[in-house]
Amino acid sequence: MDFRLTEEQKMLQNEVRTFALREIYPHRERLRKKEFPRDIFQKMVEAGYAGAVIPQEYGGAGLDNLSYALLTMELCRADAGIGLSIGASQSLVAKPISMFGSEEQKRLWLPRIASGEVIAAYAQTEPNAGSDVASIRATSRVIGDGTLTINGEKQFITNGSIAGLILALVRTDEYDLKHPRKNLAMVLVDAQKALAEGTLKVTKDFDKMGLHCSPTSSLFFDNCAVPESSILGDIGQGFFIAMATLTGSRPMIAAQSVGVAKAAFDEALRYTLERKQFGQRIADFQLTQSKLARMAMKIEAAELLTYQAAWIIDNVNEFFPDAIMAKASKAKLFASEAAEEIASVAAKLHGGMGFMTETPISWILADSRVLSTYEGTSDIQELIIAREFLRPHGVRI
Ligand SMILES: Cc1cc2nc3c(=O)[nH]c(=O)nc-3n(C[C@H](O)[C@H](O)[C@H](O)COP(=O)(O)OP(=O)(O)OC[C@H]3O[C@@H](n4cnc5c(N)ncnc54)[C@H](O)[C@@H]3O)c2cc1C
C-alpha cells in the first residue's frame, strides 16, 4: 500500500493552495456577506476549477476524484462557502451528466459549466422532503408534443438563485406509498430560459449562520416546460441517479470538511503561539498541546478516510453497492463531525475572542455546523453504514 500522493497530485495541491492563499484567503471578510463573489468565481474559472471533474473532451480538466478532493480541501481551507459553490456545480451536476447524460446533453451543458458560462444547481430537497428523498412531490408530466412540464417547490438549493442549469428530481406519476422510489426522474432545466419565461421563480435566498457567499435558495416551478430530451438517464431512474450522485459527492463534502478542519487548526495554532497567559504562550501549556495533538490526529484520520472513499470511487467501476456507499458515508460522517468538533475546540482556545464575530475562527465555526447536515445528515450516514453489515442478516434499513 502506497500512501504517497503522486507528483501530479502534489503539484495540483500546491497550485490550488497558492491560488487560494492569493485569490480567496485575503477576501474572507468580504465572503461573510450574502453576496456571490463573481470576480473570485471568474478567477476560479480561469484557473480551470469550474471544469475540474468534467472530461477533457467537453472542455474540463478531467480530474479523478482523489485529485478533485485535494482541490476541494485547499479551496475550502481558504473559504468553505466559495468551495461549496464550485463543488455543488461539479459533484452534484457535472458528474451525473458525465455519468448518465446522453451525448447531446453532455455537449450542451458540460462545456458551458467548464467555461463558467453556466453555474449549476442540484434541486432534490423540498419543504417536506429532506432525508426522506423518495417522498418528493414536485412533478413532471409529458404534455404530448415532446414537452414536459414541471411543477412544485424545491428548498435549500445551493446556487439556486445564480444557476443557469438546474438538475431537478421530480415525480413522473402519482406518489405510491408502497413504492415511493418508483416514478422518479432527473430533469435538466435551462434555468435562465425558465426564469425569463416566468415558469421558474426564486422565492427566497436564505440568511444563514455561515457559508454566506454561497446562495441557498427556494425555487418554485410553475408549469415549467422543458423538452422531453432533458431527462437524464431514463424516466424511473431518478432515485438511482440521486443515490449515485450523492455517493459520488459525499467524499467531496468530506474533503470540504477536512479543509474547514485545517482552517480551524491553522487559527488555533497561530493564536496559541501568540497569546500569552501566566507568563508564557498558551501553546506552552501541556493541556493546550493535548488539544492541538487530538485536532491534528482527527484531521489526518478524516483526510485518510476521504482519500480512501475518493480512491474507491475512482477505481471500482460500480457506485451503488452497499460497501461503496458505506465508504463514502464513513468519510462524510467522520470528517464533518471532526470539523465541527475541531472548530469548536479551536474557538475555545481563543478564549473570549473566539466568541467575537470579528475573528476568523468564529466564521469557521459557523461554517462547520452544516457539514454534518447537507447531502445526508449524520443520522442518514449511520443508517447507510449499518446497512452494509445488517442487510445480509435480514435487517431492513
Ligand atoms: C446550506 C445548505 C445547502 C444545501 N444545498 C442543497 C442542494 O444544493 N440541493 C438539495 O437538494 N438540498 C440541499 N440542502 C438540503 C440538505 O441536503 C437537507 O437539509 C438535508 O438532507 C436534511 O434534510 P432536512 O433539512 O429536511 O432535515 P430532516 O430530514 O427533516 O431531518 C431533521 C432531523 O431528523 C433526523 N432524521 C431524519 N430522518 C431520520 C431517520 N430515518 N432516522 C434518524 N434520524 C432521522 C435528521 O438526521 C435530522 O437530525 C442544503 C441544505 C443546507 C443547510
Which CATH number do you get for residue 174? Answer: 2.40.110.10
Note whether residue 2 is domain-resident: no
Could you tell me if the CB of 123 is within 6 A of ligand 1?
yes
Could you tell me if the CB of 88 is within 6 A of ligand 1?
yes
Q: Are residues 380 and 251 in the same domain?
A: yes
Q: What per-residue confidence (pLDDT) applies to 251?
A: 97
Note whether residue 146 is domain-resident: yes
Q: Which residue among 119, 131, 380 has the greatest number of ligand 1 atoms within 8 angstroms of its CB, and so is best to mutate?
A: 131
Q: Are residues 125 and 214 in the same domain?
A: yes
Domain count for the chain: 3
Could you tell me if the CB of 377 is within 6 A of ligand 1?
yes
Question: In this model, does residue 322 exceed pLDDT 90?
Answer: no
Its pTM stands at: 0.97
Q: Are residues 208 and 349 in the same domain?
A: no
Q: Are residues 252 and 223 in the same domain?
A: no
Confidence of residue 345 (pLDDT cuts 50, 70, 90): very high
Could you tell me if the CB of 125 is within 6 A of ligand 1?
yes
pLDDT digits (tens, 9 = 90+) for 28-64: 999 999 999 999 999 999 999 999 999 999 999 999 9
Q: Are residues 253 and 198 in the same domain?
A: no
Confidence of residue 323 (pLDDT cuts 50, 70, 90): confident
Distance, in Å, from the CA atom of 30 to the CA atom of 160, rounded to the nearest integer, reads 21
Which of 23, 267, 375, 388 does the annotation list as catalytic?
A: 375
Could you tell me if the CB of 216 is within 6 A of ligand 1?
yes
Q: Which residue among 91, 126, 156 has the greatest number of ligand 1 atoms within 8 angstroms of its CB, and so is best to mutate?
A: 156
Q: What is the mean pLDDT of residues 345-363?
A: 98
Could you tell me if the CB of 133 is within 6 A of ligand 1?
no
Q: What per-residue confidence (pLDDT) applies to 397?
A: 87
Note if 57 is an active site residue.
Answer: no
Note whether residue 67 is domain-resident: yes
Domain boundary among 114, 146, 179: 114
**Identity of residue 237:** Q
Note whether residue 197 is domain-resident: yes
**Identity of residue 246:** L
Return the CATH number at 95.
1.10.540.10
Could you tell me if the CB of 210 is within 6 A of ligand 1?
no
Q: Are residues 350 and 376 in the same domain?
A: yes
Q: Are residues 168 and 255 in the same domain?
A: no
Q: What per-residue confidence (pLDDT) applies to 111?
A: 98
The residue whose grid cell reads 479551536 is 346
Given a contact cutoff of 8 angstroms between Cβ atoms, the answer to whether 222 and 201 are in contact is yes
Q: Which domain holds residue 102?
A: 7-114
Nearest alpha carbon, ligand 1 atom 27: 130
Note whether residue 210 is domain-resident: yes
Give the chain's mean pLDDT: 96
pLDDT digits (tens, 9 = 90+) for 197-227: 999 999 999 999 999 999 999 999 999 999 9
Question: In this model, does residue 144 exceed pLDDT 90?
Answer: no
Cα pseudo-dihedral 16, 20, 21, 23, rounded to 10: 130
Q: What per-residue confidence (pLDDT) applies to 175?
A: 83
How far apart are the CA of 134 and the centre of ligand 1, in A? 13
pLDDT digits (tens, 9 = 90+) for 233-281: 999 999 999 999 999 999 999 999 999 999 999 999 999 999 999 999 9
Atom of ligand 1 nearest to the CA of 169: 11
Q: Are residues 133 and 223 in the same domain?
A: yes
Note whether residue 357 is domain-resident: yes
Nearest alpha carbon, ligand 1 atom 17: 374
Q: Which residue among 377, 378, 381, 383 has the greatest number of ligand 1 atoms within 8 angstroms of its CB, and so is best to mutate?
A: 377
Q: What per-residue confidence (pLDDT) applies to 319?
A: 63
Q: Which residue among 91, 209, 214, 373 has the greatest number of ligand 1 atoms within 8 angstroms of its CB, and so is best to mutate?
A: 373
How far apart are the CA of 105 and the centre of ligand 1, in A? 29
Domain boundary among 84, 114, 144: 114
Q: What is the mean pLDDT of residues 2-13?
A: 95
Confidence of residue 311 (pLDDT cuts 50, 70, 90): very high
Nearest alpha carbon, ligand 1 atom 41: 380
Could you tell me if the CB of 379 is within 6 A of ligand 1?
yes
Domain boundary among 184, 208, 236: 236
Residue 337: enclosing H or E segment and its boundaries? helix 322-349
3-state secondary structure of 156: strand
Q: Are residues 187 and 243 in the same domain?
A: no
Q: Are residues 102 and 129 in the same domain?
A: no
Nearest alpha carbon, ligand 1 atom 11: 124
Q: What per-residue confidence (pLDDT) applies to 229?
A: 95
pLDDT digits (tens, 9 = 90+) for 67-118: 999 999 999 999 999 999 999 999 999 999 999 999 999 999 999 999 999 9
Q: Are residues 144 and 178 in the same domain?
A: yes
Task: Report how far Cα 241 is from the mean position of its chain's Cα atoms.
Answer: 16
Q: Are residues 368 and 268 in the same domain?
A: yes
pLDDT digits (tens, 9 = 90+) for 152-183: 999 999 999 999 999 999 999 888 888 889 99
Atom of ligand 1 nearest to the CA of 132: 29
pLDDT digits (tens, 9 = 90+) for 268-301: 999 999 999 999 999 999 999 999 999 999 999 9
Question: In this model, does residue 317 exceed pLDDT 80?
Answer: no
| Phi and psi angles of residue 243, each rounded to the nearest 5 degrees, phi first | -65, -40
How far apart are the CA of 376 and the centre of ligand 1, in A? 6
Question: In this model, does residue 305 exceed pLDDT 90?
Answer: yes
Q: What per-residue confidence (pLDDT) applies to 247?
A: 94
In the chain, % helix, strand, coil (3-state, to 5) comes to 60, 15, 25
pLDDT digits (tens, 9 = 90+) for 104-129: 999 999 999 999 999 999 999 999 99
Atom of ligand 1 nearest to the CA of 159: 8
Which are the contacts of 265, defined by CB distance < 8 A and separation ≥ 6? 292, 295, 296, 299, 342, 346
